[in-house]
Structure 1
Amino acid sequence: MQNLIKIVIFSLVLVLVSGCSYLSVYKRDLPQGNLITQDMLAQLELGMSREQVQYVMGSPLLEAPFNGNQWDYVFRLDEAYGGVIYKRLTLTFDNDRLVDIQTFGDLDTNVDLKPESGPGPAMQDNALPEGVIDATPSRTTFQDEPIE
């Protein structure tokens, strides 16, 4: 009888632990690609040079392999407990000048990529826990030494 009770309890614990649907699993947002904001889009103007566009938008995620005059900026955010936000911006150049801007997805919403407060590895006020030594090298250590 005791063996039967042990087997039943062990089986119940095994089912509960392996199910993971009863226990909450930590999920996090997964951003991928180039972040595209409203401020960036407002600064883009036709006739800008490639260098000006790269200064505003950053390096493109994709350059068309058969057409060097097209840059693609793609952003995808898979929200942990929500849906997927997809944004795409295609810029076309002619003689190193921006001639066409095409947008896809929901570019009107700005994405907040700041970490959320709550349980997780983030520390409050950049404070180290008691007993932990900060081993990050400081910049002043190397600046004071003469170069020979």
Structure 2
Amino acid sequence: MQKLTQIITLSVALTVISGCSYVGVYKRDIPQGNLITQEMVSQLQPGMTQEQVTYVMGRPLLEAPFDASQWDYVFRLDKAYGDVEQRRVTLTFDPQGRLINIEQEGDLSKPLPLEGESSMGPATEGVDPMDALPEESTQIRPPASVQPTQQP
């Protein structure tokens, strides 16, 4: 009976130890929303049209459902082993669609610790997919000894 108790205790201990890690679990930074930088916000000026704002900032994350005069750009970075950083820019337009007010929350001046272009994943916007093709053409060319025939 004592040997059975030892075997069960050892089995439970090994199961618990093998399932737990003292090193920790791998976590990733989770960026969500529209990326907002100080350079983008500094390009905004009162009087800009909604199309001009869209060119600078992109489409907003949130639009008021019953009133399209307010656009919200929200960016949230949940750092794996740290705090959550949140940035928010609220743009207000007049009835003619011209920018009249810019409100911002969060520190837009400091750079965000996002992963670089070297990481795996889909290509970023603005990258030409033709750049990935080899330099030399892969067309089949006839050997130099074959001469094209002349037709009368």
TM-score normalised by L of structure 2: 0.70
Task: Work out the CA distance in 2 between the residues paired with 1:62 and 1:35.
Answer: 14
Task: Work out the CA distance in 2 between the residues paired with 1:83 and 1:26.
Answer: 16
Q: Which runs of 5+ in 1 are unaligned?
A: 124-137, 139-143
2:8 equivalent in structure 1: 7
**CA displacement at 1:108 relative to structure 2:** 2.6
Kindly indicate whether the alpha-carbon contact (under 8 Å) linking 1:38 and 1:110 is maintained by their aligned counterparts in 2: no
The structure with the larger Rg is 2
Percent pairwise identity? 53
How many pairs were matched up?
122
Task: Work out the CA distance in 2 between the residues paired with 1:79 and 1:86.
Answer: 11
Kindly indicate whether the alpha-carbon contact (under 8 Å) linking 1:30 and 1:80 is maintained by their aligned counterparts in 2: yes
Alignment of 1:119-138 (within 5 A): none
2:31 equivalent in structure 1: 31
CA RMSD of aligned residues (A): 2.6
Kindly indicate whether the alpha-carbon contact (under 8 Å) linking 1:61 and 1:74 is maintained by their aligned counterparts in 2: yes
Deviation string for 1:86-144 (max 9, x for gaps)? 111100011111100011123232213115x9xxxx57xxxxxxxxxxxxxx7xxxxx9
**CA displacement at 1:54 relative to structure 2:** 0.5
Deviation string for 1:16-57 (max 9, x for gaps)? 23444x242110001110010111111111111111110110
**CA displacement at 1:81 relative to structure 2:** 0.5
Structure 2 counterpart SS, 1:36: coil
Moved over 6 A (4+): none
TM-score normalised by L of structure 1: 0.71
Task: Work out the CA distance in 2 between the residues paired with 1:112 and 1:58.
Answer: 21
| Residue 97 in structure 1 maps to residue 105 in structure 2 | no
Task: Work out the CA distance in 2 between the residues paired with 1:91 and 1:45.
Answer: 11
